[in-house]
Structure 1
Amino acid sequence: MTLLDGKSYSKNTNTLYQDDSTDRSFIVTQDGVYEDGDVNATYGVRTGNITISDNTWTMIPYSKIGSTGLKFTNTYKRHQP
């Protein structure tokens, strides 16, 4: 995963010579449709937007129609050595 300017990208680095153009995903909810976005040659497929606040990451999947109701939130713990 690559984060750039609040956008997240995912690049498949398989070694099986698979056609990555067929490896797309989508999610349909009651309030929206979310799918992989455009492909960035360097970073891969745009998967959504990410905001980071302290140790909480919130990801809104990409939607070409502008759906924003689906959010994935992960909270990470900081471990001190």
Structure 2
Amino acid sequence: MGNLIIGIICLLYGLFTLYLRIFKESKGLGKLENMKMMLGDKLGTILHVFSYTILPICIGLYFIVRYYYPELEIFQE
């Protein structure tokens, strides 16, 4: 049950930041401006999108899939 809850939280967080990015024109994304100042506009935006939108969505989907298909091994040893 823990995997499902973590997956849903991560997925919702990633979708929420995607919503803010698209419909609110990045208002509410406080760390974006700091990253742009430190790393430049392009690299700061790319890292912010990856860290706060793409990665949480991927992690959320991974945990949800692992909950419903525990026998599925994505990362094999």
Same fold judged by TM-score > 0.5? no
Q: Name the TM-score, length of structure 1 as normaliser.
A: 0.22
Larger fraction in helix: 2
More strand by share: 1
Q: Which has the higher contact order (CA 8 A, sep 6+)?
A: 2
* TM-score calculated relative to the size of structure 2: 0.22
